Structure 1
Amino acid sequence: MATTKWAVDPTHSEVQFKVKHLMISTVTGYFGKFNVEVETEEDDFTKASQILFTADVDSISTNNEQRDTHLKSADFFDAASHDQVKYEGKSFEKVGEGEYKLHGDLTIRGTTKPVTVNVEYGGIVVDPYGQTKAGFTVTGKVNRKDFGLTWNAVTEAGSVVVSDEIKLNCEIQLVKQA
């Protein structure tokens, strides 16, 4: 079988995370610069030999410059020493119609842990420019403390400032490479 290479279409993709702030509201953040590379057998993603996602920590944005600077500091991602977040997919398992589990290893701040995310496969289409594209919605949760992101503070009332659970939501469109 022929190997097919896929690359991210950055103009039709986004990588988002959500975290509870003060345990009463949710802050949304994005990675503005990221890459996805996939190698499959033909167009069968369940037979992927490579699924690699990387995000540039310095591209993090929560629409608040002071918070973004804090997230890039040693209190959180430590961008000076660990400039990328990396997810290496190990297997893409079908669990229902258009529903999959992606099992892999997530590396943040030099710590690697197994993480499984849910994937909704939107299908493959040829766009008006003749490019073959595949679409995916990826969701999941991680505990930030598992990756050494342990900073927190407590309010006067005893609430924590930042929750441990981080929700992930990515919209990924891949382009088949010639």
Structure 2
Amino acid sequence: MSDLPDKDHSRVVNHTLAPPVGTFQLDRVHTFVAFRAQHLAVGRVRGRFEDVTGTIVVAEDLTQSTVEVEIATASVTTLNSDRDADIRSEHYLDVARCPTITFRSTRAAESTSGTWLVTGDFTLHGVTNPVQLPVAFGGPTADAYGINRVAFHTEPSITRKDYGLTFELLKEAGTPLAGRDTAIQIDPQAIRSQ
């Protein structure tokens, strides 16, 4: 892979690597949103969403940057059709009533750990809560076709009951079918559009 032209290189802002100024669209092929949940208190189930879109606007003043992401809930897959159908049902994501999961940023700030803290409104299952995401900037590059890209990474965790996802939280035997918290891994790549 070749490097970006000088004008598109990342910046160092307050001793922290920062992305170049511009508007970037999420690359649907190279953006990954995965999750991990506990199963019966002993095992783990992993899955991902295959339809993720969004826009990242990086401002000269990074605190004025914005992020908007939309995930199609029906695109969830755990590589098991029966489990996927259950996750899409009213027991969990209820995709007929809640077709999208969204994130809209409200603030960005530098973190002392070298990452950027992006605060915003996260909507899941029709419930919106404020969240703060520690976001690492992976850097800029240009692919083999000369398309300018940037990459990021964040690993938040959500508590299901905060979003009304209370099905099977407690079983009669005291062991929940699915864990109370869900770990999420978000690895977006975005393509410069402006």
Normalised to the residue count of structure 1, the TM-score between the two structures is 0.89
**Two-structure CA RMSD over aligned residues (Å):** 1.9
1:28 aligns with 2:28: no
Structure 1 residues 47 and 126, CA gap change in structure 2 (3 angstroms): farther
- Residue of structure 1 in register with 2:89 after alignment: 73
1:113-128 equivalent positions in 2, closer than 5 A: 113-128=129-144
Residues 169, 180 of structure 2: 8 Å contact kept: no
Q: Structure 2 regions of 5+ residues with no counterpart?
A: 1-20
How many aligned positions are there? Answer: 174
- TM-superposition CA deviations, 1:98-128 (whole Å, max 9, x none): 4121111111121100011221111112223
Offset, 1:24: 0.7
- TM-superposition CA deviations, 1:68-91 (whole Å, max 9, x none): 111111111111111000111112
Secondary structure of the equivalent of 1:175?
Answer: strand
Identity among equivalent positions (%) equals 26
Offset, 1:92: 2.1
Offset, 1:146: 0.7
- Residue of structure 2 in register with 1:38 after alignment: 56
Secondary structure of the equivalent of 2:68?
Answer: strand
Distance in 1 (alpha carbons) for counterparts of 2:97 and 2:173: 35
- Residue of structure 2 in register with 1:135 after alignment: 151
Secondary structure of the equivalent of 1:129?
Answer: coil
Find runs of 4+ consecutive structure 1 residues off by over 4 angstroms: 153-157
- Residue of structure 2 in register with 1:13 after alignment: 31
Specify which structure has the higher proportion of strand: 1
Distance in 1 (alpha carbons) for counterparts of 2:171 and 2:163: 24
Residues 132, 175 of structure 1: 8 Å contact kept: yes
> Greater Rg, structure 1 or structure 2?
2
Normalised to the residue count of structure 2, the TM-score between the two structures is 0.82
Residues 115, 142 of structure 1: 8 Å contact kept: no
